[in-house]
C-alpha cells in the first residue's frame, strides 16, 4: 500500500465545512476528500509549535516535557528511513522553510528524494533591501514585527504575479509531478507539506477580496501578520485591533485556505488520473490550528484551547469503511509515526511508546487512547478525554531545564527571558541518563521561560464547546479526576523529575484505573 501524508500548516477545523457546516470558507476539494474518506473528530495536537509537532511525526516521541524546538536527536528514529527499510521509495515536497534552518537539522535528510520550494515567510532566500521603499502593507506588518523580517518576506515574493507563483501552487504541482515521475517505480511514501495557511496571511486576488464583503480597507490598512511570540507585542496589537481589522484578518485566512484547497486539488486529481486511490493510504492533517483573536489570543500558544488544539484529520484507507465515516476515538499528532510505519509493514522501534497506530480504529473500530496529553515546553500540561479538558499551568518560581544530547543555539522558546534567535544557550549544570528510554547521556541545561499564565482551566466540551467558562473552582470532582489522570498519563509517558513540582502535580496521586467520567451533559 502506498502512503501519502499531506500537512497543511495552521489549519483550523472552523474553516472546514466537514467540521463546521456554517463556515463561509469554501474548500471543495477538502470537502470531497471528507466525503470519500474518514473524518476524525477528536484528533489533538501533542507538542507545539511547528518543529516539536514534526518531531512527533518523524520520531514517534513527544518532547514538550523535555526540550523546546530543536534538531532531531541522535537516538531518534527517522520516519522515512523506517519506511524505506520496508522496501518503499520515499520522497518529500515542501515549502516549510524551517526544515532547512540550523535549529531543525535532521528532519529532511532521511528522504531519498527531496524538493524544496524556497522563499516562504522569513526564509533566507534573497537578500532584503533594508533601505529601499516597500509597499504600505509591508510597512503595516512592520508596526508590530521586525522590519527586517517583513522586508525579508517581501524580497522573497515581490516578483510574484498570479497565484501560480504562490507557494501552494508550486508545492502541490511539484507533488503531482513527483507522482508522475516515481509512482510507477514501486511502493512509495510521499510527504507533502505546504507552510500555508500559516501567516503572513498574504494572498493574491481573487482570494484577497473573496471574503471581505462589508469590510472597509485593504492590507494597506489592516495588519495581515500580527505578533504573538512576544507577549507585550501581542497585547499592544490586540489593544489597538478593531473588530474590522480582526474581521479582515480572518477574511485573508479564509482566502488563503481556499487557495490551498484549490491547489491541493491538483494533487488529489493526480491520484485519480493515475488510479492510485485503490492502493494508497492518504492522511490529511495539520500541525496545529491558529487562533485569530478569539479570547484576545492570536497564534497557537498556551493555553491550548480547542480552537487550535483539536485539529482536523481526514484519512483515506482503501480497505476501511470510508464514505464520510465519522470517527470519535481520540488520536494525536504523535500517532502518525506508528500508523505510517505499520501501514508500510514495519514495527515502530523501541523508545517510541508515545505513538500508537490508528490503523486499528480504521480497520476494526478499536480505540487506541482514552485521553490526549499535550502542551508547549515551558508552559502548562493539558489533558482531554473528549468530554472534559483541563489545563494545568506552572507554579511560580519553580525551576525548568532542557534535556538533550546536544547543546544548540535556541531559535525561539515561547518568549524566553534569556534570549532570542541566535542567542547562546546557558551553561549546562549536569549530564546524565535522565530518560530511561534513551541510552545516551543528556545535558541538563537551565532555562528561564515566562509562562503565559499561571491560571488553571477546566472546561466542559459538551456544554461549552467554545471553552468560555472556566469550571476549575466549580467542578471539584472533575478537576480531581482529570488531575489524577494527567498524573497517570504523564507517569506513563515520562518526564524530568522537576516537572511534577513545577506543574504542582507532586502531591497528586495517579489514577490506578481510569475513573468513570461524570457525564458532560
At 3, is the secondary structure helix, strand, or coil?
strand
Instruction: Report pLDDT digits (tens) over 7-45.
Output: 999 999 999 999 999 999 999 999 999 999 999 999 999
pLDDT at position 517 over 50: no
Residues 465/459, Cβ–Cβ less than 8 Å: no
- On the question of pLDDT at 294 being above 90, the answer is no
Least Cα distance to 88 among 188, 208, 191 occurs for 188
**pLDDT at residue 20, as a whole number:** 98
Average pLDDT over residues 70-98: 97
pLDDT band at 520 (very low <50, low <70, confident <90, very high): very low
C-alpha cell at position 389: 479538558
Cell representation of residue 503: 506543574
Q: Report yes or no: 13 and 289 within 8 Å, Cβ to Cβ.
A: yes
Task: Identify whether the C-beta of residue 55 lies closer than 8 Å to the C-beta of residue 155.
Answer: no
CA pair distance 103, 412, nearest whole angstrom: 10
Of 331, 321, 383, residue with least CA distance to 358:
331
Using alpha carbons, select from 258, 100, 314, 270 the residue that is nearest to residue 175: 270
The span from the CA of 446 to the CA of 427, in Å, is 8
Going by C-beta distance under 8 Å and a sequence separation of 6 or more, which residues neighbour residue 302?
48, 375, 376, 379, 380, 382, 391, 393, 414, 451, 452, 453
DSSP state of 416: B
Q: Is 390 exposed, middle or buried (0-12, 13-18, 19+ CB in 10 A)?
A: buried
DSSP secondary structure letters along 407-450 = ----S--SSBTT--TTPPPPPP-EEE--STT-SS-EEEEE--B-
pLDDT in the model for residue 410: 67
- Give 340-363 pLDDT, tens digit per residue: 999 999 999 987 889 999 999 999
Q: How many alpha carbons lie under 13 Å from residue 386 in its C-beta half-sphere?
A: 16
pLDDT at 521: 41
**What does the pLDDT read at residue 392?**
98
Give 473-509 pLDDT, tens digit per residue: 999 999 999 999 999 999 999 999 999 999 999 999 9
Grid cell, residue 303, equals 493555553
Q: What is the mean predicted confidence (pLDDT) over 291-306?
A: 92
pLDDT at 513 over 70: no
DSSP code, position 423: P
> What is the percent of the chain with per-residue pLDDT over 70, rounded to a whole number?
96
Distance separating alpha carbons of residues 445 and 67, to the nearest angstrom? 10
pLDDT at 493: 96
Mean model confidence pLDDT for the chain? 94
Assess whether pLDDT exceeds 80 at residue 164: yes
Give, as one character, the DSSP assignment of residue 210.
T
* Secondary structure (3-state) at 358: coil
Cell of 392: 494545568
Name the DSSP letter for residue 186.
Answer: S
Q: 264: part of which helix (H) or strand (E)? A: helix 243-273
- Residue-wise pLDDT for 172-189, tens only, equals 999 999 999 999 999 999
What separation, in Å, do the N-terminal and C-terminal C-alpha atoms of the chain show? Answer: 42
**Contact indicator for 43, 33 with CB cutoff of 8 Å:** no
Q: What pLDDT band is residue 512 in, cutting at 50, 70 and 90?
A: confident
**pLDDT at 514 > cutoff 60:** no
Which pLDDT score is estimated for 358?
Answer: 98
Whether the predicted pLDDT of 134 surpasses 50: yes
Q: Is the model's pLDDT at 441 over the cut of 50?
A: yes
Q: Under a CB-based contact definition with an 8 Å cutoff, are residues 219 and 137 in contact?
A: yes
Confidence band, pLDDT 50/70/90 cuts, at residue 198:
very high
Amino acid at each position: 500500500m502506498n502512503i501519502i501524508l499531506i500537512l497543511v500548516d495552521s489549519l483550523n477545523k472552523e474553516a472546514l465545512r466537514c467540521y463546521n457546516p456554517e463556515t463561509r470558507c469554501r474548500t471543495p476539494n477538502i470537502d470531497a476528500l471528507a466525503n470519500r474518506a474518514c473524518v476524525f473528530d477528536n484528533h489533538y495536537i501533542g507538542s507545539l509549535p511547528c518543529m516539536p509537532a514534526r518531531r512527533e511525526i518523524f520520531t514517534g516521541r513527544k518532547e514538550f516535557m523535555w526540550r523546546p524546538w530543536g534538531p532531531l536527536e541522535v537516538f531518534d528514529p527517522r520516519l522515512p528511513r523506517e519506511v524505506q527499510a520496508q522496501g518503499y521509495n520515499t520522497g518529500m515536497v515542501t515549502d516549510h522553510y524551517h526544515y532547512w534552518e540550523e535549529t531543525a537539522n535532521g528532519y529532511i535528510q532521511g528522504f531519498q528524494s527531496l524538493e524544496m520550494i524556497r522563499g516562504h515567510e522569513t526564509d533566507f532566500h534573497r537578500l532584503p533591501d533594508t533601505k529601499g521603499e516597500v509597499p504600505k502593507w509591508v510597512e503595516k506588518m512592520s508596526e508590530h514585527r521586525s522590519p527586517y523580517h517583513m522586508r525579508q518576506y517581501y524580497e522573497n515574493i515581490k516578483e510574484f504575479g498570479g497565484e501560480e507563483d504562490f507557494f501552494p501552487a508550486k508545492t502541490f504541482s511539484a507533488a503531482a509531478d513527483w507522482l508522475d515521475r516515481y509512482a510507477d517505480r514501486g511502493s512509495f511514501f510521499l510527504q507533502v507539506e505546504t507552510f500555508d495557511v500559516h501567516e503572513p496571511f498574504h494572498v493574491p486576488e481573487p482570494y484577497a477580496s473573496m471574503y471581505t464583503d462589508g469590510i472597509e480597507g485593504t492590507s494597506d490598512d489592516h495588519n495581515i501578520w500580527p505578533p504573538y511570540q512576544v507577549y507585550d507585542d501581542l497585547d499592544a496589537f490586540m489593544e489597538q485591533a478593531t473588530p474590522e481589522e480582526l474581521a479582515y484578518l480572518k477574511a485573508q485566512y479564509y482566502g488563503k485556505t481556499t487557495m490551498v484547497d484549490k491547489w491541493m486539488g491538483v494533487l488529489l486529481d493526480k491520484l485519480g488520473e493515475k488510479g492510485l486511490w485503490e492502493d494508497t493510504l492518504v492522511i490529511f492533517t495539520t500541525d496545529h490550528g491558529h487562533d485569530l483573536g478569539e479570547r484576545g489570543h492570536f497564534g497557537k500558544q498556551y493555553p491550548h484551547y480547542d480552537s487550535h488544539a483539536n485539529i482536523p484529520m481526514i484519512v483515506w484507507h482503501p480497505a476501511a469503511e470510508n464514505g464520510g465515516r465519522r470517527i470519535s476515538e481520540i488520536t494525536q499528532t504523535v500517532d502518525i509515526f506508528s500508523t505510517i510505519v505499520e501501514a508500510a509493514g514495519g514495527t515502530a522501534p523501541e523508545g517510541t511508546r508515545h505513538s500508537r497506530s490508528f490503523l486499528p480504529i480504521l480497520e476494526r473500530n478499536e480505540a487506541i487512547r482514552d485521553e490526549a496529553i499535550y502542551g508547549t515546553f515551558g508552559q502548562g500540561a493539558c489533558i482531554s478525554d473528549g468530554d472534559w479538558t483541563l489545563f494545568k499551568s506552572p507554579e511560580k518560581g519553580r525551576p525548568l531545564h532542557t534535556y538533550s544530547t546536544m547543546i544548540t543555539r535556541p531559535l525561539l522558546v515561547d518568549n524566553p527571558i534569556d534570549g532570542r534567535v541566535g542567542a547562546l544557550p546557558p551553561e549546562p549544570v549536569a549530564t546524565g541518563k535522565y530518560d530511561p528510554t534513551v541510552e545516551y547521556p543528556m545535558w541538563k541545561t537551565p532555562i528561564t521561560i515566562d509562562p503565559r499564565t499561571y491560571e488553571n482551566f477546566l472546561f466542559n466540551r459538551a456544554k461549552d464547546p467554545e471553552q468560555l467558562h472556566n469550571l476549575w473552582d466549580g467542578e471539584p470532582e472533575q478537576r480531581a479526576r482529570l488531575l489524577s489522570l494527567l498524573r497517570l498519563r504523564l507517569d506513563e509517558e515520562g518526564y524530568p523529575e522537576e516537572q511534577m513540582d513545577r506543574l504542582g502535580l507532586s502531591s497528586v496521586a495517579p489514577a490506578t484505573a481510569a475513573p468513570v467520567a461524570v457525564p458532560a451533559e
